[in-house]
Each structure stands twice: as structure tokens, then as C-alpha cells.
Amino acid sequence: MDTSKKWSKGNKRISPVFLRWRPAEAWHIVRAHPWLMFLFINFALVIPLEYNISMIEPRGEPYDAGFVITKRIHNILELRPTLNHVLAAANTALVVFQIVYIAWAWVVEGRFRPVLASAFMFSSRGILGYSTQLPVPQEFLGSGVDFPVGHVSFFLFFSGHVGASIIATLDLRCVNRVRGALVMDMLNVLQTMRLLATRGHYTIDLVSGAFAGWACYHLAGLCEERIKTQSSSVAGVSDYIDLNL
């Protein structure tokens, strides 16, 4: 048997890619894209952790790293209910601002993208939240002025508070309102800390909410471009028919 044809396909000889790797090229990739190195290091650390950590017992309390980090803030808010209500009211004001901004972007400025992104996000949140209904943490510190106001039932997964903030900050950057976007980012961080401290959301709810807001905003952008392309095509056909008539 001719071994020279072992790695051949047709008239082309196939050689393993790793044989062409060079240390200089690898170093260049690490310098140009350090996040890749961080990703692989994180992968190497997380995989052993995942397969060696003990599972929570069926009747055990859920473990949340965010709850551990914000334990001191939780204790302060538990001892000072008035402060908890004030922060809840401030958070509700932020949510109202997000709603007004997204509506303003469409009704006044004529930009449909943030509204479409919100529709995508809250539709998926409703489906996912109903599909997996997580228990409210036992240490939850509720407030009558929190959003939704009046202790209305809400889904934990995923966080609409954080997702809407991400949509708003991405849209602010899209129209070059950088300072407004930075302010929104800072408020979103404070909001995240408060939601963890009051046990209003698990950490996974908040992280998933941020990713959902980012993904839905970019999905809305793709849909918006497609709508514009289709509208232009229809307009072009209409103009052609009018000219020939």
C-alpha cells in the first residue's frame, strides 16, 4: 500500500494544521487577542471545577456567589427597611426612564430598533420564565415601590431590569450619546448590586439578562436592515411600474 496517498485527497496532499504552527505566530495571536488566552485559561480552570464540585442536595438551599458577595449589603437593608424602600423607588425610576427612552426613540426620533429589541427580549423572557419557574429566595427583601409595583408576581429568569438597561445603553452608543451610555452603565451596575443584595434575582438571572439584552438588540438590528431592504425593493418595483404606466 502506498502510504504517500494516506493524507491525500484527489491531487492535493493534506497535512495536519498543527505542523504549520510556529511559536512566533502563537505569540503574535496572544499579544493581538489577549482575551483568547484568558478564555482558554478560564476553560482549563472551570472544567476540573465543574466535575469535582459537589451537587446541591434535592432539598438543599441554592448556592449563589452573588448572594455571598452582597451579604453585608443585604444585612444593612434588612435592618433598615426605609433605605430598602428608597433604593427600590430609585430603581423603579430607572425602569420608568428606560421605558420612556425606548418609547421616545420610536415615537419622536423614528428609531424602531430599541422597541423591536425590547419586544424580542420580553417575549423570550415570558416563555423562558414560564418554562422554568425558579423559587423566590428565602431572604428576599420585597418593597411595595419596587418594579413591578405592589409585589406583583414576576419571573426570576431572566432579569428584565438588566436586559432593558443593556438595550438602552447600546442604543445610546448607537446614536453617539456616549455620556448617557456611561451613566446608564453605572446605574445598571448599582441596580445589579441592589438586586443581588435584596435577593430579587439570582446571579444567573442577571448575567443572562445582560446577554439577552445584547443579543436581542443585535437581532433587532438585523431585522431592521432586512425590513429596510425589503421596503426599498418594493418601492423600486412600484416606481418602475409607475414609470412604465
Catalytic residues: 161, 201, 205
Q: 64, 202 in Cβ contact below 8 A? A: yes
How many CA atoms does the CB half-sphere of 216 hold within 13 Å? Answer: 26
Q: What is the dihedral of CA 236, 237, 238, 243, to 10 degrees?
A: 90
Of residues 194, 12, 18, 22, the one with CA closest to residue 95? 194
Residue type, 149: V
d(CA 205, CA 203): 5
For cell 435584596, name the residue. Answer: 198
For cell 476553560, name the residue. Answer: 43
Q: Which residues pair with 12 in a beta bridge?
A: 9
